[in-house]
């Protein structure tokens, strides 16, 4: 056979290869999840060889798909961190009242935070209860107003006023430590009502030995001074209120009902000494580009993101100490790969360029995405939107989609239109008080003015799925059992990818870039 007809035949065969079926994609997606969440990735902890193996695997997939490297070092964008360990055995804490000292168990009563900047080695400071600890002057609510915080530890409780948007409360919570440190406070102590407990204290204790991280470059940190930051066991919280004329039970009841809270001095002071170790760590984001086709618009970017890191290994729970992170967030990483493969297989040529960003250190406080959003590998002003995948939770059939942030920008209307075309209604966040909108990487983009959405399998708070989801959170969330041996709605996951893929395509092809809604609180970050 002569070469030319043979080649022509081969090319014809290649050109007519049909895109993979949904079933084939589901199988491929699950294969990627299985590789990323396998035991030999050792829980993909930021800065570990296991994380690097997972990053290398993603790079081989991106090369195979045929995306361009768009990091600072090929596909990689290295980020420098300082890692902080708190040694519980070498640390101590006590409540001091009228010269009497009541020792606190670390981590039984109090867990000292490791992230968000350096802790002081020693602290003794009065405690002041400041309600929800939310600074939201635009909503006519400011728990810090008129309170002298200088040198004090602010004690706050979960929840917030009912008439304020979940997004705004969530932002105020996230920004709390920075605001307090800027007002001269010495620290922050967070309380949770029994009803609002999401992660049982025993599980938080199991992870208390894990390190925290913050940027090696202090200029990039939110909290720039040494600042005490700790959470208190709900079961132990009553003792903070002794002698104040109020009880934790009474305050909890008000907080659970989103009622206004009193602010007052607590009787005891907190005394603590913190034994710490620090070391430098480098870990990389992975960045790939699908170039756009429009001469003018291809210099702009729609950014997909999903965090690649997870919790590593820790104290065993039921004999298992390896945090595989299958749903959190191997599934999201594999989801981005599925979307990229599907674009390529369908030979789609979006007008704007697309970036696929796999970020590090999400579990350390959204640090990899924060770094990317502050120091993007493309011009900052060229980023028009962010679509984030983190724990979409394909653990029941997909009947609707929750797009976190959909009320905040024009992306919401585009998402609703895509949903309508696919028979997938958009439903609001069933639990707005969980702060989901600021709890994952989309928030890093929002803070830099970029309209963003994050995606979840939808349900209403009174649907049976709410119970499935609640069960999942109480047993598998941030637990070793978030592994490959759990029921997963694989075909439904692919449908969600199609939803997000189509949405991103519409955004990439639209003549105008997305805009913040007129009333959105987050509009203030637009530049």
Name the residues that contact Zn ion, by CB under 5 A: 328
Distance CA 290, CA 172 (A): 36
Nearest distance, CB of residue 190 and Zn ion, angstroms: 18
Residue 328 vs 338, nearer CB to Zn ion: 328
Q: Smaller CB distance to Zn ion: residue 83 or 328? A: 328
Based on CB atoms, which residue is closest to Zn ion, 227 or 443?
443
Residue 66 Rama label (left phi>0; alpha psi -120 to 50; beta) = left
DSSP assignment of 3-70 = HHHHHHHHHHHHHHPPPPPHHHHHHHHHHHHHHHTSGGGGGGBTTSHHHHHHHHHHHHHHHHHTPEE-
Cβ proximity to Zn ion: between 328 and 498 the closer is: 328
Q: What is the largest CA-CA distance in the chain?
A: 98
CB of 325 to Zn ion, least distance (A): 7
How many angstroms separate the CA atoms of 149 and 181, rounded?
A: 9
Burial class (CB in 10 A: 0-12, 13-18, 19+), 476: middle
Dihedral pair phi/psi, residue 495, rounded to 5° = -65, -40
Nearest approach in angstroms of CB 65 to Zn ion is: 26
Q: Is 266 helix (H, G, I), strand (E, B) or coil?
A: strand
Our CB check for Zn ion shows the closer of 328 and 429 to be 328
Q: How far is the CB of 192 from Zn ion (least distance, A)?
A: 18
Question: Are the CB atoms for 401 and 426 separated by under 8 Å?
Answer: yes
Closer residue to Zn ion (CB): 415 or 452: 452
Q: Any alpha helices (H) in 126-174, and if so which ranges?
A: 166-174
> Minimum CB separation from Zn ion for residue 188, in Å?
21
CB of 402 to Zn ion, least distance (A): 17
Residue (328 or 469) nearer to Zn ion, CB:
328
Q: Which residue has the closest beta carbon to Zn ion?
A: 328
Q: Look up residue 118 and give its two tokens.
A: 């350096």
Q: How many CB atoms lie within 10 A of CB 5?
A: 9
Beta strand residue intervals within 337-494, DSSP E: 353-359, 383-389, 401-404, 452-457
- Please state the φ and ψ torsions of residue 139, each to the nearest 5 degrees: -100, 10
Strands in 348-502 per DSSP E = 353-359, 383-389, 401-404, 452-457
8 A C-beta contact, residue 19 and residue 346: yes
Q: How many CB atoms lie within 10 A of CB 254?
A: 17
Residue with Cβ nearer Zn ion (45 or 147): 45
Provide, rounded to whole angstroms, the least separation between the CB of residue 198 and Zn ion.
Answer: 12
Do residues 390 and 443 make contact, with C-beta atoms less than 8 angstroms apart?
no
Nearest residue (CB) to Zn ion, 309 versus 502:
309
Cα–Cα distance for residue pair 460/474, rounded to 1 Å: 18
Q: From the CB of 283, what's the least distance to Zn ion, in Å?
A: 16
Nearer to Zn ion, 239 or 473 (CB): 473
What is the rounded radius of gyration, in angstroms, for the C-alpha atoms of the chain? 24
Give the Cα separation of 179 and 154 in Å (integer).
11
Close Cβ partners of 474 (under 8 Å, ≥ 6 residues apart): 200
Shortest CB 404 distance to Zn ion, Å: 15
Nearer to Zn ion, 143 or 328 (CB): 328
Location of structure tokens 């967070």? 190
Minimal distance in Å, beta carbon 478 to Zn ion? Answer: 6
Smallest gap from Cβ 483 to Zn ion, in A, equals: 14
Residue 329 CB coordination number (10 Å)? 31
Shorter beta-carbon distance to Zn ion: residue 106 or 322: 322
Rounded-to-integer distance, Cα 139 and Cα 159, Å: 15
What is the 8-class DSSP label of residue 90? T
Residue 328 or residue 502: which is nearer to Zn ion going by CB?
Answer: 328
CB of 230 to Zn ion, least distance (A): 20
Secondary structure element (H or E) that encloses residue 520, with its range: none
For the bound state, the minimum distance from the C-beta of residue 310 to Zn ion, rounded and expressed in Å, comes to 7
């Amino acid at each position: 056979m002569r070469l030319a007809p043979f080649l022509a035949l081969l090319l014809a065969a290649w050109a007519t290869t049909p895109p993979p079926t949904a079933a084939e994609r589901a199988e491929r997606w699950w294969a990627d999840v299985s590789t990323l969440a396998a035991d030999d990735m050792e829980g993909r902890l930021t800065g570990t060889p296991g994380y690097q193996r997972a990053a290398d695997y993603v790079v081989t997939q991106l090369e195979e798909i045929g995306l361009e490297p768009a990091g600072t070092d090929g596909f990689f964008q290295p980020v420098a961190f300082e890692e902080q360990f708190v040694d519980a055995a070498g640390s101590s804490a006590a409540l001091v009242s009228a010269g009497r000292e009541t020792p606190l168990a670390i981590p039984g009563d109090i867990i000292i935070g490791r992230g968000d900047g350096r802790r002081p080695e020693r602290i003794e400071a009065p405690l002041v209860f400041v309600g929800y600890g939310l600074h939201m002057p635009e909503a006519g609510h400011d728990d810090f107003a008129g309170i002298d915080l200088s040198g004090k530890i602010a004690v706050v409780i979960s929840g917030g006023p009912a008439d304020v948007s979940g997004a705004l409360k969530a932002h105020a919570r996230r920004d709390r430590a920075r605001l307090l440190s800027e007002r001269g406070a010495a620290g922050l102590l967070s309380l949770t009502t029994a009803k609002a407990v999401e992660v049982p204290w025993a599980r938080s204790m199991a992870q208390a030995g894990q390190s925290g991280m913050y940027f090696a470059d202090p200029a990039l940190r939110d909290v720039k001074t040494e600042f005490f930051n700790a959470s208190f066991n709900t079961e132990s919280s009553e003792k903070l209120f002794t002698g104040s004329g109020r009880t934790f039970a009474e305050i909890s009841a008000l907080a659970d009902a989103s009622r206004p809270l009193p602010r007052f001095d607590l009787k005891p002071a907190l005394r603590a000494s913190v034994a710490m170790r620090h070391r430098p760590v480098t870990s990389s984001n992975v960045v790939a580009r699908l170039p756009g086709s429009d001469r003018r618009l291809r210099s702009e970017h729609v950014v997909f993101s999903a965090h690649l890191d997870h919790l590593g290994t820790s104290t065993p729970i039921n004999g298992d100490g390896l945090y595989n992170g299958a749903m959190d967030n191997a599934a999201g990483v594999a989801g981005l790969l599925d979307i990229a493969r599907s674009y390529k297989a369908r030979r789609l040529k979006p007008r704007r360029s697309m970036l696929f960003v796999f970020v590090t250190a999400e579990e350390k406080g959204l640090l990899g995405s924060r770094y990317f959003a502050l120091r993007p590998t493309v011009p900052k002003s060229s980023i028009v939107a962010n679509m984030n995948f983190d724990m979409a939770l394909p653990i029941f059939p997909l009947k609707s989609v929750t797009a976190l942030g959909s009320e905040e920008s024009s992306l919401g209307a585009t998402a609703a239109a895509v949903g309508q075309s696919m028979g997938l209604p958009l439903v609001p966040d069933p639990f707005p008080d969980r702060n989901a909108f600021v709890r994952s990487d989309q928030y890093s983009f929002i803070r830099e003015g970029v309209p963003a959405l994050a995606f979840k399998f939808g349900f209403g708070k009174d649907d049976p799925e709410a119970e499935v989801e609640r069960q999942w959170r109480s047993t598998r969330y941030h637990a070793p059992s978030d592994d490959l041996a759990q029921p997963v709605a694989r075909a439904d996951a692919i449908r969600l990818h199609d939803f997000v893929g189509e949405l991103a395509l519409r955004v990439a092809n639209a003549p105008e870039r997305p805009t913040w809604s007129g009333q959105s609180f987050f509009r203030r970050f637009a530049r």
